[in-house]
């Protein structure tokens, strides 16, 4: 059951762009999809947490300056 | 010049804000070099094929997942004993980073295991322990979110972190007992200095481990500063209202 | 402290006290299991130890938020906190009361329900023993969880998220003890670990629970 879904997923990926994929598979061998999906997922997660942290930091910093400006005014 | 000076929120922010970009930059550089080296320039394992390349993500992430909880534990203890808000907020800041590390460890672990063990998810002791750790992180973060008053939240989450740590260790032993496991032994017993994987793999692996560690540091410093500012906003708004 | 215990027991047994609810829930979950996994006898025998324990966990969880919530709402919790009784003692007694009203009935009822799941005949004794040793731990850990969330309205779901991971070691050793009993193997190790967890919980968690209560009562 697991294998069927995974195999069809692999076939789908292979079909997307054959020449590029042939090169990748030549390099990574039969576990190309596994290795790439592991890297892909991890890097995405890292990027997400970094970007979210930076954005929140900027947003809160702006909020703080706004609130402090209001405080100094009043 | 004691480390406790940095417990002063303002000093913490002024000191860490300039260094965060450097730490972040260095960590990303190390990760790029380490991962590229590991991905392109190391050979395949004769048993595991190219999936051994997942080690450069899985091992560092797993290490940081544990370290993050440990940092939260120390920070919680410091809060309960010395009442430095920076400490409590650092624990809060570290949790999301820790949970992401745990998630990476779980995902890479499951994917790595698929060709090796033939199942999508194997209830191997190490993976199972990380799944339980994931739940502990979730609970910790949920408790912070649920409580209005910041000091109360800090106190309760600190107690939870401490009790949770005891049960996390207990669970580790219980899970080992429960399933003798498919996971190979530690490949990087860093403390003992011996290595059961060869040097070709070791250097890029260490680079990635340091890279992940610095990334964790940069993110926690950044997020703690954000928490400090957020707390200040809350205080100012309360003062202006009342 | 005994007076506190008696009071809680009396409250629980009275109508609306939720005494029989835990037991009824336990029964319902056990009935649902075969309905969910199919009636095949061999399969049920395999999963019976684990499912009985999981059902016990969930049933224990049900009555947890009542431990402190009622006292918190009607204002008697602050009174208890300022009484000459140490708050750790209060937490301990609450844990014991919860076990007496939930864990103990479960332990007694479980062998009777084991046959619904086609539990191995050799396992019944061990089921009783394991639950008897382990359910107090569930109550004490649950009391800690309840203390953490007592200040929250609708804290029940959050409390489950906090408490269930803490239940993992108890579940693992408890279920393993019953399984080994079913196979005729030695059950000493898991039972000893279970006893350790229970004793450790009663020794240490009252302090953690009372710390949480004090924070919530500020």
ipTM of the complex: 0.90
Chains C and B physically touch (3 or more Cβ atom pairs below 8 Å): yes
Q: Among all chains, which residue has been given the structure tokens 């498919």?
A: B182
Residue B91 Cα distances to A45, B67, B127, B219, C122, angstroms: 21, 12, 24, 12, 48
Cα separation of B91 and B68, whole Å? Answer: 9
Collapse the DSSP code of C179 into the 3-class scheme (helix H, G, I; strand E, B; otherwise coil) and give the result: helix
Q: What is the pTM of this model?
A: 0.90
What domains are there in chain B, each with its CATH number?
Answer: 19-235 (1.20.120)
Whether B82 and chain A come into contact, CB under 8 Å, resolves to no
Q: In B, which residues are within 8 Å of C168 by CB distance?
A: 132, 167, 171, 174-175
Residue C218 C-alpha, separation from nearest chain B C-alpha, in angstroms:
9
Contact yes or no for A16/B67 (Cβ under 8 A):
no
List helix spans (H) across A1-74: 2-16, 18-28, 32-73
Residues on chain C touching B139 (C-beta within 8 angstroms): 158, 161-162, 165
Q: The dihedral of CA C34, C37, C41, C42: what is its sign?
A: negative
Per-residue pLDDT of chain B (242 residues; tens, 9 = 90+): 456 666 788 889 998 999 999 999 999 999 999 999 888 888 777 777 778 888 999 999 999 999 999 999 999 999 999 999 999 999 999 999 999 999 999 999 999 888 777 777 888 888 999 999 999 999 999 999 999 899 999 999 999 999 999 999 999 999 988 886 445 444 433 333 334 566 777 889 999 999 999 999 999 999 999 999 999 998 888 888 87
Task: Tell me B185's DSSP state.
Answer: P
Rounded to whole angstroms, how far apart are CA atoms C106 and C104?
5
List pLDDT tens digits, range C122-132.
999 999 999 99
Distance of residue C166 Cα from the nearest chain B Cα, in angstroms: 6
Chain B positions touching C172 (Cβ under 8 A) are 171, 174-175, 177-178
Q: Which two tokens stand for residue B114?
A: 């698929």
> First vs last Cα of chain C: how many Å apart?
23
Instruction: Report domain extents, chain C.
Output: 2-217
- Which of B39, B51, B219 lies nearest to residue A53, judging by beta carbons? B219
d(CA A58, CA A54): 6
Partner A contacted by B43 (CB < 8 A): no
Task: Give the 3-state secondary structure of residue B45.
Answer: strand
pLDDT for position B182:
45
> What confidence tier does C62 reach under pLDDT thresholds 50, 70, 90?
confident
CA distance C176 to chain B (A): 7
B17 Cβ contact partners less than 8 Å away, ≥ 6 residues apart:
B225
Residue C140 touches partner B, C-beta closer than 8 Å: no
Place C4 in a pLDDT band, splitting at 50, 70 and 90.
confident
CA atoms lying within 13 Å on the CB side of residue A19:
0
Is the backbone of residue C118 left (phi > 0), alpha (psi -120 to 50) or beta?
left
Which chains contact B through at least 3 pairs of Cβ atoms less than 8 Å apart? Answer: A, C
Residue numbers of the domain that contains A12: 2-73
Residue of chain A whose Cα is closest to the Cα of B40: A27
Q: Which two tokens stand for residue B80?
A: 């309960």
Instruction: Name the domain count of chain A.
Output: 1
CB-based contact A31 B236, cutoff 8 Å:
no
């Amino acid at each position: 059951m697991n294998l069927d879904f995974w195999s069809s997923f692999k076939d789908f990926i292979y079909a997307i762009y054959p020449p590029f994929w042939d090169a990748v598979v030549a390099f990574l061998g039969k576990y190309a999809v596994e290795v790439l999906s592991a890297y892909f997922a991890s890097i995405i997660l890292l990027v997400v947490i970094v970007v979210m942290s930076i954005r929140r930091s900027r947003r809160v910093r702006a909020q703080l300056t706004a609130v402090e400006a209001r405080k100094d005014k009043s | 010049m004691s480390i406790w000076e940095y417990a002063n929120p303002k000093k913490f922010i002024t000191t860490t804000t300039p260094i965060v970009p450097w730490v972040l930059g260095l960590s990303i550089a190390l990760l790029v070099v380490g991962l590229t080296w590991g991905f392109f320039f190391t050979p395949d394992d004769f048993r595991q094929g190219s999936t051994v390349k997942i080690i450069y993500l899985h091992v560092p992430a797993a290490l940081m997942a544990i370290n993050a909880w440990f940092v939260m534990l120390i920070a919680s203890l410091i809060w309960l004993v010395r009442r430095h808000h920076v400490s409590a907020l650092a624990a809060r800041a570290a949790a999301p980073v820790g949970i992401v590390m745990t998630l990476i460890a779980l995902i890479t672990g499951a994917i790595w295991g698929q060709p090796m063990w033939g199942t999508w998810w194997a209830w191997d002791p190490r993976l199972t322990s990380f799944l339980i750790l994931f739940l502990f992180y979730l609970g910790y973060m949920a408790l912070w979110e649920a409580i209005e008053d910041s000091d109360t939240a800090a106190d309760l989450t600190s107690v939870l972190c401490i009790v949770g740590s005891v049960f996390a260790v207990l669970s580790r032993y219980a899970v080992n007992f429960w399933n003798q496991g498919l996971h190979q032994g530690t490949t990087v017993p860093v403390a003992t200095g011996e290595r059961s994987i060869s040097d070709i793999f070791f250097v890029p692996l260490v680079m990635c481990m340091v890279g992940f560690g610095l990334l964790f540091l940069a993110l926690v410093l950044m997020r703690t500063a954000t928490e400090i500012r957020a707390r200040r906003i809350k205080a100012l708004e309360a003062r202006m209202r009342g | 402290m005994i007076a506190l215990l008696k009071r809680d027991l009396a409250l629980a047994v009275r109508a609306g006290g939720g005494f029989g609810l835990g037991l009824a829930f336990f029964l319902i979950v056990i009935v649902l299991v075969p309905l969910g996994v199919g009636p095949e006898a061999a399969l049920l025998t395999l999963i019976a130890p684990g499912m009985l324990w999981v059902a016990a966990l969930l049933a224990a969880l049900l009555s947890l938020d009542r431990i402190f919530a009622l006292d918190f709402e009607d204002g008697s919790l602050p009174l208890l906190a300022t009484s000459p009784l140490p708050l750790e003692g209060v937490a301990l007694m609450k844990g014991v009361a919860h076990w007496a009203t939930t864990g103990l009935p479960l332990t007694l009822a479980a062998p009777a329900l084991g046959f619904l799941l086609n539990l191995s005949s050799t396992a019944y004794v061990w089921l009783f023993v394991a639950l008897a040793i382990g359910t107090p731990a569930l109550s004490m850990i649950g009391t800690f969880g309840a203390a953490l969330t007592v200040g929250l309205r609708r804290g029940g779901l959050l409390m489950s998220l906090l408490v269930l991971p803490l239940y993992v070691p108890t579940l693992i050793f408890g279920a393993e003890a019953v399984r080994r009993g079913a196979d005729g193997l030695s059950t000493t190790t898991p039972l000893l670990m279970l006893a350790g967890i229970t004793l450790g919980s009663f020794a240490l968690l009252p302090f953690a629970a009372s710390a949480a209560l004090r924070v919530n009562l500020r």
